[in-house]
Amino acid sequence: MVLLVAAGATLAVFLLAWAITAAIADLTPLDSFWGLAPVAGVWAGALADGALTTSEKLAASLTTLWGVRLAVYLIARWRRHGAEDSRYASMRRKAGPGFRLRSLWSVVGLQAMLSLVVCLPIWGSLLHDGVEPGPIGWGLAVVALVGVLIEATADSQLAAFKANPDNAGKTLTSGLWALSRHPNYVGEIMFWAGFAALAASYGAWWALVSPLVIGFLLMRWSGAPLVERKMLRTRSDYADYAARTGFFPFLAPKKDK
């Protein structure tokens, strides 16, 4: 029952996201709902069975911190940019006039299904709500928290860099970005890895699928590959930066054979 309520609330927020993005003919705000939907899901699930347990409070706190921070950052970035994200704009051009309705299942629906999988640590925490975190669990929660802080710091550094007109056409290579080509993605993966290990400590071992999925999405599919292709086209200094800076800190990039 708890998981059905949590999943239902998550999907309801994605449905709201589709209604809003269809009305304004701009899918960019959907990225913000990626953070808000799990927040709605975890609170709906946690409150569905009455009083909040320690594990539910911890899961809800971690999810809220991660999701609200991400949503606020992405909304602000969308407002600054003032146009639909190039990924979605390209989909819209290719799909033609029927894209608004088609996006319900081809874009929003797909992201909703992926969200349910990525959020396995949340569902695991709700399912095992009677288990206390313990020292190891609290330590893993700190790992997840550090992941959020890394992601927030990286996003803040990048926003400040882009806000300076003197940096137009340049690549950010200082701060966390001197250690990793994608410190924001590293923080995201770290958050879900810590959260998944926390859920696994309760007995929800299947939650460990979550960081594997988010790692694949960010490292091999919709994250780094898209960003790096664009950066190589638009930044003359990016190839040299990528050649000496790995995805993960202190790990040199692989050399082409």
d(CA 131, CA 245): 41
The tens-digit pLDDT sequence of the chain (257 residues) is 899 999 999 999 999 999 999 999 999 999 999 999 999 999 999 999 888 999 999 999 999 999 999 999 999 999 998 889 988 999 999 998 899 999 999 999 999 999 999 999 999 999 998 899 999 999 999 999 999 999 999 999 999 999 999 999 999 999 999 999 999 999 999 999 999 999 999 999 999 999 999 999 999 998 999 999 999 999 999 999 999 999 999 787 766 44
| pTM, rounded to two decimals | 0.94
Q: What's the CA gap between 121 and 249, in Å, rounded?
A: 25
Domain residue ranges in the chain: 1-114, 133-250
Give the pair of three-digit tokens for residue 95: 């799909």
pLDDT for the residue numbered 122: 97
pLDDT of residue 130: 83
